[in-house]
Amino acid sequence: MPRLSLSERMRVTSLAAERARRRIVSRTLNSKLLRWRYGSAVADQLLILPQDLRTRDPSFWDEIEVGQFGLAGSLAMVDAGSPFATRPPSDAWARALHGFDWLRHLEAAESVEARDTARRLAVEWAGRYRTNGGGIAWRPEVVARRLISWITHAGLLLEDADGKTYDALTESLGMQLVRLSATWRTAPVGPPRLLSLMAIVLGDLTIADHDRQLSEAERLLADELARQILPDGGHVSRNPAVLVELMLDLLPLSQCFVARDRPVPPEIFSAIKRALGMLRFMRMGDGSLARFNGAGIADPAHIATVLAYDAGNAPVDIEQALRSGYMRHDAGGSILISDVGPPPPLEYAGTAHAGCLSFELSHGPYLIFVNGGAPRPRETEWINKSRATVSHNTLCLGEKSSSKMVRHPFLEQLVGAHPIRYPNNVSAKGSLSEGLWTMEAEHDGYMHRFRLIHFRRLQMSRNGLCLEGLDRIGGKSTEVRLKQDLPFSIHFRLHPDVAVSDPSADGSIPIELPDETIWRFRASGAKMTIEEAVYFADSTGPMRSWQIVLRGVTFGGSEITWSLNRD
């Protein structure tokens, strides 16, 4: 694992100091002497109920009835006991349990028994955790998800409830809002911190007599949105899937401002518009998000729901997306999206992948070339492999990834995973001339180890039925002569729904799409093979797929050309 550079060590020191400062501030504000600053600790009255945009599954109630509590990809048997007294099968399961996001499934069941169970479990939680304790239940991001869930489904929990139930839940709700308002600063960097601030603003908007705190909460949320949502709408982590989750909470929050006859803060409105534009930009022909930097399985219904708020708007312009490190071109029903950016800052790089200059291609509703994507969180044994360069449609040099994972105790604790570094420099430009679109890009991810640069040129025809590529390995400014041969491989990973056959008589490899159209792949400058691969981003788990791989060796300067054409 690489040592940190001087600038990176300084960044780690700064992050450590900032975290210590945040903890001190949160501890002080959460003291009994200062909690009064955040309003009443009892939510006597809810003024409005937000909309829940997430998909509901009534069958969840059927599982609970037989003693099964399936959350975050894990299953716990509860029987006649309480899920809060059950040993969690994983931390993710415990976070989901205490987050109460599953209330929407019980509400969807539309039965008295499901409603009574929801109330019983909420009251039980309020009794078990009525003090300002610690552990998973009181992590800021978990408190935030629980606040949003309880407020959003307050009709299920409070409507026609008896006085004892009503008092227990409103007292707990108010106490949780006060606690979060004081401690949100200790939430992990990235989406958890945004979620915490969104929950505070939602609470101040919906709970009576909290208007006095709203302006300050709005300002804090606006500042955090400015840090995390880039000018072109991408998230600073470069993970497109993060935007879907953020919008599922941010869009209902914006509607609460309207319902309260308050203007949506311009910073929030702008962040929403930019993020929705970027989601359209990162969408492939089948409606899925391109599988870059931690994006894996995304619910198509969720993507469609959030984009419905932006119906009719055009995708972000190509040049604008360079801030997020992506380029896109649409032609004749074909969509090509390329990763042309370096890893995000270390504190946001926990889900980033070593896929620089990789691309995805679709035609019509069919995916052709796709990256491996990210597996489900519970499939931990696949996570590191999915992040490797060989799991992406790009060049791998010396059987090494173009990025390196950084092992540093503080960073691992801060990020919750191993962040990556390299390439340091990535350049890209796109042009359109007489209908022919050209992208030229290069990165120095292999410079620190092999003193070599990867250059890639992609060209797509006007009708989108021909994609030509060139991959060049060479020195940055002068010719490099290696002491020994260095192996390379260029990967073209096929979607599992695509069929591939042995090379034809002319040397091309036929690729058959589900609509039975045939595309042909050709290459020169390297040996062309068909090999097995693993597609990580499937809802059923990692599955077998195929890839075309161009293999060869380089002495320090090599050029490989390839093309894909529809018959």
* Domains detected in the chain: 41-186 (no CATH), 321-566 (2.70.98.70)
Quickly tell me which residue has 């090494």 as its tokens.
Answer: 400
Contacts of 328 (CB under 8 A, 6+ apart): 281, 282, 315, 318, 321, 335, 336, 337, 338
**The predicted structure's pLDDT at residue 413:** 81
Q: Work out the average pLDDT over 274-293.
A: 95
**The predicted structure's pLDDT at residue 38:** 58
Give the integer Cα–Cα distance in Å for 268 and 197: 12
Tokens standing for residue 32: 């009994």
Q: Work out the average pLDDT over 459-479.
A: 95
Tokens standing for residue 190: 């990235």
Tokens standing for residue 350: 């926990």
Count of C-beta atoms within a 10 Å radius of residue 5: 11
pLDDT classification of 33: cutoffs 50, 70, 90: low
Residue type, 200: I
Q: Does 477 have pLDDT greater than 50?
A: yes
Q: Quick one: what percent of the chain has pLDDT higher than 70?
A: 95
C-alpha distance from residue 179 to each of 30, 99, 153, 171, 382 (Å):
7, 15, 20, 12, 37
**The predicted structure's pLDDT at residue 311:** 64
pLDDT higher for 378 or 48? 48
Whether the Cβ atoms of residue 509 and residue 563 lie closer than 8 Å to each other: no
**The predicted structure's pLDDT at residue 1:** 46
Summarize pLDDT for 154-204 with one digit per residue, the tens. Answer: 999 999 999 999 999 999 999 999 899 989 999 999 999 999 999 999 999
The torsion angles phi and psi of 397, rounded to 5 degrees, stand at -115, 130
Angle in degrees, 0-180, between the axes of helices 91-99 and 140-152, rounded to the nearest 10 = 40
Is 550 strand, coil or helix?
A: strand
Is 75 strand, coil or helix?
A: strand
Give the integer Cα–Cα distance in Å for 232 and 316: 7
